[in-house]
Amino acid sequence: MTDISGYSCRVCGGKVAEFVDLGQQPTANGFLLPHEADDVFLFRLAVGACEDCALVQLLDEVPQEFRYHANYRYHASGSASHRKHFQGNAEHFLRTELTGPDPFIVEIGCNDGVMLGTIAAAGVRHLGVEPSTNVAEIAEAKGVRVLRQFFDEQTATAIRAEHGPADVVFGANTICHIAHIGSVLRGLDTLLTPNGIFVFEEPYLGTLIDGMAFDQIYDEHVFYFSVTSVRNMAEQYGLELVDAEHIPMHGGEIRYTLARAGARTPKPAVAQLLADEQARGLSDPETLAQFGHRVEKIREDLLALLNDLKAKGKTVVGYGAPAKCTTVTNYCGIGTDLVPFVVDSTPAKQDHLVPGANLPVRPPSEFTDAYPDYALLFAWNHAKEIMANEEAFRASGGQWIVYVPEVHIR
């Protein structure tokens, strides 16, 4: 059913029912120089679920060219655990799917070559598809062959014509970014060998909801997949979900494997995970509405706490300026009156402003040189490491403010 009055599902055309509205927001990674602050691009950051296929998705979107360009800030090889994970993936593909006479693997969103670097070093035929030219360049320096384009049906047709069919198409933390996902799935039909697979690893709706990680919602994350919605999506395009497994990346993701319908026998894990989602009501409107109410409660509690600390003359500094920080500060309306600045270890972010909220980003030395009374932990996914590194802050009497899964002081 196509809904003409409101928002329609990007995959099946069904009606998308909104369950959380995070207000007017800039692009989350668009850190600004002070003179650019007044020019910021804003869009409405709201999320809904398709009433027909259960796919959770942004209602409005930012054009992809605004998000991926020659100055894309996310470098996948920046973290040792990511390098290890993607090397493991590459070795797994080399052992299992890429053992034929002249195998071929395509990666959508290869970024700086964190996965394909290992494939290239093994001398196996491959192609990374990557529109952000700055990271594509880094991949090429590792010997990775890159097509500097957005993957879609047209690109898939061109790749097939030039290189022949692919045994594996892979994507990580990329497929949920692609609003034209239908075109991607049609492209797979063109590109995959008869027994080929499409493997993708993406943030999981269940993790988002369990952890109240509403600040993972931002312009780049167009889709919030569940096993149920991926199963339904695959069916629309002649594909079948044949495996799904939890992986520990980014706090809890799922690796999905799709094959042509009927080509492979689905692993028992698929039915198990579908049953788990059904039992916990993951896609139920009540579950999603509850999430929306809890997000509003976090905003109320966090603002009440920050205003109370300000009234008492206490100092608060933000710790970490991940993309998440943009969502939470703009949603809550946290300005420099409540949090005068944020510290972050990334040189490229320092001397910039958190987009929209305009909090200045400073080097970590500004934190250690004069400890505040409280640190608001925006990089909460790194809490363990950061708190261990900053023991002296606590020893000085400092306390951490964490706002997920609810506002609390540690």
Question: Does 320 engage in binding with ligand TMP (CB under 6 A)?
Answer: yes
| Nearest-approach distance from CB 73 to Zn ion, in angstroms | 31
User: Are 285 and 49 spatial neighbours (Cβ–Cβ below 8 Å)?
Assistant: yes
Question: Does 379 engage in binding with ligand TMP (CB under 6 A)?
Answer: yes
| Nearest-approach distance from CB 291 to ligand TMP, in angstroms | 20
One-letter amino acid of 396? S
Q: Figure out which of the listed residues 59, 382, 387, 402 binds ligand TMP, where binding follows CB under 6 A.
A: 382
Encode 242-251: b = buried (16+ Cβ within 10 Å), e = exposed: bbbeeeebbe
Question: Does 215 engage in binding with ligand TMP (CB under 6 A)?
Answer: no
One-letter amino acid of 105? I
User: At a CB cut-off of 8 Å and minimum separation 6, what does 402 contact?
Assistant: 377, 380, 383, 408, 409, 410
Residue whose pair of structure tokens reads 């999506």 in the numeric block? 233
User: Are 138 and 112 spatial neighbours (Cβ–Cβ below 8 Å)?
Assistant: yes
| Nearest-approach distance from CB 76 to ligand TMP, in angstroms | 11
Encode 312-343: b = buried (16+ Cβ within 10 Å), e = exposed: eeeebbbbbbbbbbbbbbbbbebeeebbebbb
Residue whose pair of structure tokens reads 């080929």 in the numeric block? 196
> 246 has which bridge partners?
254
What mask of x and - would describe binding to ligand TMP in positions 272 to 311, judged by CB under 6 A?
A: ----------------------------------------
Q: Which two tokens stand for residue 278?
A: 């059904």
**Minimum CB distance to ligand TMP smaller for 95 or for 384:** 384
Question: Does 188 engage in binding with ligand SAM (CB under 6 A)?
Answer: no
Q: Which of residues 59-88 bind ligand SAM (CB under 6 A)?
A: 64, 68, 72, 74, 76, 82
Backbone angles phi, psi at 35, to 5 degrees: -75, -10
229 binds, among Zn ion, ligand SAM, ligand TMP, none (CB under 5 to 8 A by kind): none
Question: Does 150 engage in binding with ligand SAM (CB under 6 A)?
Answer: yes
Q: Figure out which of the listed residues 346, 358, 368, 399 binds ligand TMP, where binding follows CB under 6 A.
A: 346
What mask of x and - would describe binding to ligand SAM in positions 85 to 124, judged by CB under 6 A?
A: -----------------------xx-x--x----------
Q: Distance between CA atoms of 175 and 182, rounded to whole angstroms?
A: 11
Binding site for ligand SAM (CB under 6 A): 64, 68, 72, 74, 76, 82, 108-109, 111, 114, 129-132, 135, 150-151, 172-174, 177-178
Residues interacting with Zn ion, by CB under 5 A?
9, 11-12, 14, 50, 52-53, 55
